[in-house]
Structure 1
Amino acid sequence: MSEAEQSFGITLEQVSDYEFRVRFDGTAIPDLITDETSPLGGDAGPNPTHLIATAVANCLAASLLFALRKYKNSPGTIGAKAKLSMARNEHGRLRVTHIGVDLQLADKAEVLAHLDRALAQFEDFCIATQSVRQGIKVDVSVHDGEGKLLPLPEAG
């Protein structure tokens, strides 16, 4: 592995049926329980598809916070909602086809310094979203503290 490459590991252990315990190797991160939704599983935790939506939304929110702070802003709380869509492929198997993420700023756009610059670059910081985008359509919108939809440059 080159100096620029990074890696991490997880360990998955079946608890029962479709319920698994996820351990994040070499970290103090608490274990996570995952499970399939009923009727297949018991709904004891998020399923892998829920985790995909969570990863994309969380990454975008954190990336937006990073970009805003880069320009010396101290933004209020950032929220995110994600909607994941699935459809059957040509073999009848369900696949994720789209993730829509709406990010909500607590502040009015006018009080955030260099907001246009932050909005132009925050998606590029997001490892999860940019990786997922290679196979799944991801749309993003950002609203300020007054609910105003903020313009984003075209994703590149």
Structure 2
Amino acid sequence: MKRLQRWWADCPPYILAFLLLATPVAAVQPDEMLADPVLEARAREISRDIRCPVCQGETIDDSNAPISRDLRIIIRERLVAGDTDEEAVDYIVARYGEGVLFKPRATGSNLILWLAGPALLLVGVGVAVASGRRRGMVPEAALSEAEEARLEEILKK
């Protein structure tokens, strides 16, 4: 602990400034935020599960893309209009498709993707068990008397 305190005290100011700038910043602008903290918290919760259509690897809360801003505003408008969280998400999915969800729903054609992994695992285990049993079922061939004599002769050398 003292080493860390000493490092912190001896650290040049430009490194401290860089560390402060490197902290993650949400892209939500103050003009987007709702006055009601409960609705804002719901909007943030929904935004964490929606992928930016442009960035693909970021949530719309973290993305600075204009489409992400539009999606954040749409979500807040839907919540102010009285939609539930599910209705707001359904509205976004209806417009942009299932690809905007970080956690796709396990329904319809997505069900195939959700079940493919466990199914392939079970098939692999089945093949491994079957091949293991087959190897165990093959009887070991007994050596003839001539082969046993030859083996003993080789081992004695």
TM-score norm. by structure 2 comes to 0.22
Instruction: Determine which structure has the larger strand proportion and give its number.
Output: 1
Instruction: Determine which structure has the larger helix proportion and give its number.
Output: 2
Larger radius of gyration: 2
